[in-house]
Chain A
Amino acid sequence: MIGVGKAKQYSNVLDKPLSKGKQEVSLSAFSFLFSELVQYNQTQVDNIAELERRLEDAGYSVGARVLELLCHREKGNRRETRLLGILSFVHSTVWKVLFGKVADSLEKGTEHEDEYMISEKELLVNRFISIPKDMGTFNCGAFVAGIVRGVLDGAGFPAVVTAHFVPVEGQQRPRTTILIKFAEEVLRREARLG
């Protein structure tokens, strides 16, 4: 019978105000959890590409949920329908809720029309992670790339999203760039909308 009293209190769930959400969680607790996530997935795969894919999938489901929640909470049940709109939604709104800050930069790829990049000097998930030399270019930011893909896919902007380390001049640590490559149909639709 647990919960009966509660259900009566809000006879209509839509009357209940949506909670603002917990503003901050412990970074240590998150880091340990994320570390376990990576370690668990590592036991399930036999190559690095597979590990990257699994982390991305884990992020994808986070992204899909985050989109749903934020559209309801921050945007009054509306979602972005234009390319630049959704990109800045990811870059600012999503990033702020997930990482407590706006992403360092959002740029358009110089070589290809359909590529956009979100860069972070120090991605939160990578804060305590050192990649061993034998794992090459593997980046745990794949999880964040998955989140971005989840948000974009849910909003109707299918894209291929990958995370890369990019060395910065004069800095010991490389920054992480989330590379977003939109599907052809997205660009065609965007061109039609003008």
Chain B
Amino acid sequence: MAAVYSLFIINKSGGLIFYKDYGSSGRMDTNDSLRVASLWHSMHAISQQLSPTVGCSGIELLEADTFDLHCFQSLTGTKFFVVSEPGTQHMEALLKVIYELYTDYVLKNPFYEMEMPIRCELFDLNLSQAVQKDRVALLGR
């Protein structure tokens, strides 16, 4: 059973720049993934405004019956979020790792254009390794 269902990265204006699904559950077609991405972007922004706490940085975790959605927003407004099995642990740490991979293999790549869809071989490679490692760690427990 896959712990991580899918991963999204959205740019600061809410456009989907990276989408990948792992395993069979929650698979989406291109239109749906784009819709989820921009929907999440708006919900995140609204939650920031509605929150009673001062200086709220938006939703970090959405718990539903069939999935958990963990979100991490970088300082520049790029959002990373994973949809996972309910109750999956250490997703924050995984998101940090993914952010690190993004800064290394996407931002330091001279052929990447900011805010555009990510098509970097090294990023894909290291990402699948990171998720794989995470999955192995989960199975081991």
User: Are A and B a genuine interacting pair, yes or no?
Assistant: yes
Q: List A residues at the B interface (Cβ < 8 Å).
A: 28, 31-32, 34-39, 42, 128-132, 135, 140, 172-173
Main SS class of interface, A: helix
B39 contacts chain A at the CB level, 8 A cutoff: no
Which A residues are in CB contact (< 8 Å) with B135? none
Give the Cβ gap from B122 to chain A, nearest Cβ, in Å. 5
Check A39–B119 contact: CB distance below 8 A.
no
**Given A130-B123, A172-B125, A28 and B108 touching (CB < 8 A)?**
yes
Please name the residue on chain B nearest to A40 by beta carbon: B110
Contacts of B107 in A (CB 8 A): 32
B121 CB within 8 Å of chain A? yes
Total B residues in contact with A, Cβ cutoff 8 Å = 13
Q: Is B111 in contact with A129, judged by CB distance below 8 angstroms? A: yes
**CB nearest to A35 among chain B residues:** B110
Given A128-B104, A132-B119, residue A42 in contact with residue B125 (CB < 8 A):
no
Please judge, given known A-B contacts A28-B108, A35-B108, A135-B111, whether A129 and B119 are in contact too, CB under 8 Å: no
- C-alpha gap A128/B120 in the complex (Å): 10
In the bound complex, what is the Cα–Cα distance between A173 and B109 (angstroms)? Answer: 16
With A and B bound together, what is the CA distance between A39 and B108 in angstroms? Answer: 11
Q: Quote the shortest CB–CB distance from A64 to chain B (angstroms).
A: 24
Closest 6 CB pairs of A and B: A38-B110, A128-B108, A130-B120, A130-B121, A35-B110, A31-B108
The answer to whether the Cβ of B105 comes within 8 Å of any Cβ in the partner chain is: yes
* Whole-angstrom CA separation of A32 from B110 in the bound complex: 8
- Using A32-B107, A130-B111, A135-B111 as known contacts, list a sample of 5 further A-B pairs with CB atoms less than 8 Å apart, ordered by residue number in A: A35-B108, A35-B109, A37-B110, A42-B110, A130-B123
Residue of A nearest to B125 (CB): A172
Chain B residues with CB under 8 Å of A140's CB are 110
Q: With the chains together, A69 CA to B95 CA distance in Å?
A: 44
Pull 19 A–B residue pairs with CB atoms less than 8 Å apart, ordered by A: A31-B108, A32-B108, A35-B108, A35-B109, A36-B110, A37-B110, A38-B111, A42-B110, A128-B105, A128-B108, A128-B109, A128-B122, A130-B109, A130-B111, A130-B121, A131-B111, A131-B121, A140-B110, A172-B125
